[in-house]
Structure 1
Amino acid sequence: MKSSASITLRKKPNKKGQYPLAIRITKFRKSSYLYIGHYITLNYWDNEKSIVKKSHPNAARLNYLLLTKLAETNRFLLQLQAEGKDFSAAQIKKDILFLNSDKNFFDIADAHLEEIKANNKFGRLTVDKAYIGHIATFVKSRQLSFQDLDENFLRKYMNFLKNSKKLSERTIVNHLVLIRLLFNKAIRQGLIDRKFYPFGKDKIKIKYPETRKIGLTIQEIQSIEKLTELTDEEYHARNIWLFSFYLAGIRVSDVLKIRWSDIYDNRLHYTMNKNSKLVSLQLPEKIHAILKDYINDKGSDNDFIFPELKVVDPSDEKQLYAKAKNANKWLNSRLTEVAIKAGITKKLTMHIARHSFGNIAGDKIPVQMLQQLYRHSSVTTTMMYQSYFISQETDKALNSVVDF
């Protein structure tokens, strides 16, 4: 009979009325428990999801610890199964407790992926899973200790990503950011001493390379607005692009999830998918013209405005993500055709709507107001983003020298 492991809250309180968090190992219908050393009261336990509720002050750390212990236990059970060993739940617990205390990098990585999946962050899950796969390919196994993740290892790994995987500098930096995140989690859990930390001064420095962000000009957007000879598909793609642009460059994943019920009092109210922030924007007059094209397909106030996600169960976050991702590819293909008809040589994609808003906003709008429109956590992030588009002062400086 196959062994199984799961996260649980044992219903045996201590003297303070708190209950122990544990990993339950089951074999032959008998269970044994690995306690992680932390207790909570019942009101902080989500029995349906088997996680600590967010209302607990240390919910994130406790849940991550539970997921890490679960991943470690499952790895051990798979090893026993592969070796054809048949132990009782009690014996399995005993063997796990005597395992070497050095934790494998991939145990922490697997727990990290499980945490992202539990939070329905499927976009990040796809990316981080691919990055961790690259690390496994590089080391040619799933065994890697944190002490092995030294500067020499990372420099060789960066070279591997650049020459073998042909990845860009920005993507390589993103790999390092993930490794740093997992290393810091391991340090916080006491799995590795900070003296082995390979990042920082005189070590591996993570610096994002400068990238070009190109947005459309007012004239180019007007040429898109004035197009008349469009197919139904091109017309629809243009509508979604303009809808995004008119509302400060809303990301396509958010645009497609907007429902009729999100619009009231001449405002759009929605929650950003990227950071779960609430956004409220007044609807520009041009938005109403777009909405008229879809009002006849409205079944109820809870319907999505645009048709892409109407065929998906709205409660299935994974399917919503997959459908929105495919829709973005389809829209970008149609937008390429729109750009050609508008005589635009720049690459036209859904994300360019955000860059175009930033390009036109330039230094016309106070940075604090732009921060609110973009919903950035820090005004510094807004300033860095707008720096790609603000060129008026540098243009004046240049002309002051050469205009003679």
Structure 2
Amino acid sequence: MMTKTHDSKPTASLVLDSRTILRDGSHPLKLKIGWGKDDNRKWSIGYTFTKEKYAELLTNATRAPYKDIWVHLNAKLRKADNIIRDLMPFFRFEDFKERFFDAPNFKIQVDESSLMFICETVANNYKRKGQYSMSVKMRDSSRSLLKFVKMENMPMRAITPSFCREYEEYMYNKSKKFTRNGAGINLRHIRILFNEAISEGYIPREWYPFKRMSGERSFFKDAYVIPLERKSKEYLDEADLVKFSETKRFDTPAQRKAHCAWLVSFYCNGANAADFLNFRFRDIEGDFISFYREKIKYSTRQDRKLIRVFITPELRQLILEFGNPPAPNNYIFQCYTDEMDDEKRFLARKKFTTDVTRSMKILGEKLGLKAKVKLGNARHALANILKRNGVSREVVKDLFGHMSIVTADNYYESFGDDKFKEIATNYMSLDAIKSRIRDR
């Protein structure tokens, strides 16, 4: 049996049940648990008083013989408060009663509406569709919530707006840079679990704790809004980009590999590792590499953007130096093999990005670059070079494969290969960058 969800905490108090009159004219003292305005339960705790004696007890709590009675009563209140704290945020009166009166078989009930059941169901669906990384993200985010409540499982009904806010503060205080993005990322994954669970009929719509983008009224008065902090991104300016690109001083092969990976990302329209590691030689059509971003590979939308990367002389040289032998079915860059399943590909990419990130940091510090060198900021470096040189947002949108920058961008037509070739030649080419620096 499931209780109505409240976005509040139950409270414990003692009340004299004056409506119940025992044979000696006294009344039972009861423990009252109140939850919300209307829900409350009362249980006798073994003490009886007349109204007069109870009044004396209240006014003489520190005096004998009342002091000893109050010690026992306060112990029961503390026990009740501790049980409420342990059961929150998934409190049920039935569970409280069993715990308070020491029922030997007490166990928090979890079923198809529990977080881990739904998480495993959704994660396995992602895995079957080949989206192994999404299955990992669902599990990691769910475990983060369970770590917060120090439990192995919890009902989805316990994830209320107030719970989400408490979790957000927990993640904020835990983060090294005091950011709310960690909570935001995890709760977006939890939102996916809610949507899937509601769609499959595991939980009712009324349990949904998040503010609905459609404007549909929420069951909760103060629905939770997932945080999104947009911080300024670090990126290499053109001078540092030239310094980084032209360096030949590598202390280890790992630094040389990291250097190559960053440049590949830059010259491939800012593609991330999940994209460019998946390139095969059959994706090359003349002077272009064509691909869809991995993050929208399984999108149900029919208007996915095909990204066209012009193969500049710099990119062609990187492929020759660091790529696999040029056979149609071969991956262009070294990381995956055909024998790998989705899980092994995910682990291989994770190791690749971890190793590259570590070596990039060392290389950037050695070169004295102003910004930290990260694989992800090659995209930002490219975007800012284009922006500073007057390339329109519509061109950048198509170059990166975005569906839109703002809603109005849906009215713009896509630009063709000639424009992409012009951008790569005039703005991404190392010679063009150095020429602009000389002209300043």
Give me the TM-score of the superposition, normalised by structure 2: 0.57
Alignment partner of 1:202 is 2:213: no
Report the counterpart of residue 400 of structure 2 in structure 1.
374
1:221 to 232, 241, 253: 241
Q: What letter is aligned with 2:167?
A: Y
Which whole-Å CA distance do the structure 1 matches of 2:186 and 2:132 have between them? 17
Q: Deviations over 1:351-384 (max 9, x none)?
A: 121111112122622222211111123323999x
Which whole-Å CA distance do the structure 2 matches of 1:371 and 1:197 have between them? 34
Aligned CA distance change for structure 1 residues 365 and 381 (closer, same or farther; 3 Å): farther
Which whole-Å CA distance do the structure 2 matches of 1:179 and 1:265 have between them? 44
Aligned CA distance change for structure 1 residues 265 and 106 (closer, same or farther; 3 Å): same
1:288 positional shift: 1.9
Aligned CA distance change for structure 1 residues 224 and 184 (closer, same or farther; 3 Å): same
Report the counterpart of residue 271 of structure 2 in structure 1.
250
2:286 to 265, 279, 296: 265
Instruction: Give identity over the alignment, percent.
Output: 22
1:268 positional shift: 0.7
Does the CA-based 8 Å contact 2:126-2:135 persist in structure 1?
A: yes
1:222 positional shift: 0.9
Larger Rg: 2
Does the CA-based 8 Å contact 2:112-2:118 persist in structure 1?
A: no
Report the counterpart of residue 291 of structure 1 in structure 2.
319
The answer to which of 203-212 and 140-149 deviates more is: 140-149
Which whole-Å CA distance do the structure 2 matches of 1:176 and 1:258 have between them? 32
RMSD over equivalenced CA pairs, Å: 3.0
Aligned CA distance change for structure 1 residues 381 and 318 (closer, same or farther; 3 Å): farther
Report the counterpart of residue 196 of structure 2 in structure 1.
185
Q: What letter is aligned with 2:331?
A: F
Aligned CA distance change for structure 1 residues 292 and 192 (closer, same or farther; 3 Å): closer
1:355 to 380, 385, 391: 380
Unaligned runs of 5+ in 1: 1-98, 384-404
Give the 3-state SS of the residue equivalent to 1:237 in structure 2. Answer: helix
Aligned CA distance change for structure 1 residues 139 and 334 (closer, same or farther; 3 Å): closer
Does the CA-based 8 Å contact 1:122-1:321 persist in structure 2?
A: yes
Report the counterpart of residue 343 of structure 1 in structure 2.
368
1:245 positional shift: 0.5
Task: Please show how residues 4-403 of structure 1 align to structure 2 within 5 Å.
Answer: 103-163=113-173, 168-200=179-211, 202-231=222-251, 232-276=253-297, 278-294=306-322, 298=325, 300-309=327-336, 312-362=337-387, 364-380=390-406
Q: What letter is aligned with 1:282?
A: F
Q: What letter is aligned with 2:145?
A: I
Which whole-Å CA distance do the structure 2 matches of 1:370 and 1:380 have between them? 13
Q: Deviations over 1:255-295 (max 9, x none)?
A: 22222232231111233222125432221232122223246
Which whole-Å CA distance do the structure 1 matches of 2:264 and 2:133 have between them? 23
1:164 positional shift: 5.9
Which whole-Å CA distance do the structure 2 matches of 1:103 and 1:236 have between them? 47
1:318 positional shift: 1.6
Does the CA-based 8 Å contact 1:261-1:301 persist in structure 2?
A: yes
Q: Deviations over 1:55-80 (max 9, x none)?
A: xxxxxxxxxxxxxxxxxxxxxxxxxx
Which whole-Å CA distance do the structure 2 matches of 1:116 and 1:131 have between them? 15
Which whole-Å CA distance do the structure 2 matches of 1:100 and 1:107 have between them? 9
Does the CA-based 8 Å contact 1:215-1:352 persist in structure 2?
A: yes
Does the CA-based 8 Å contact 1:105-1:145 persist in structure 2?
A: yes
1:192 positional shift: 3.7
1:161 positional shift: 3.2
Q: What letter is aligned with 1:218?
A: E
1:148 positional shift: 2.6
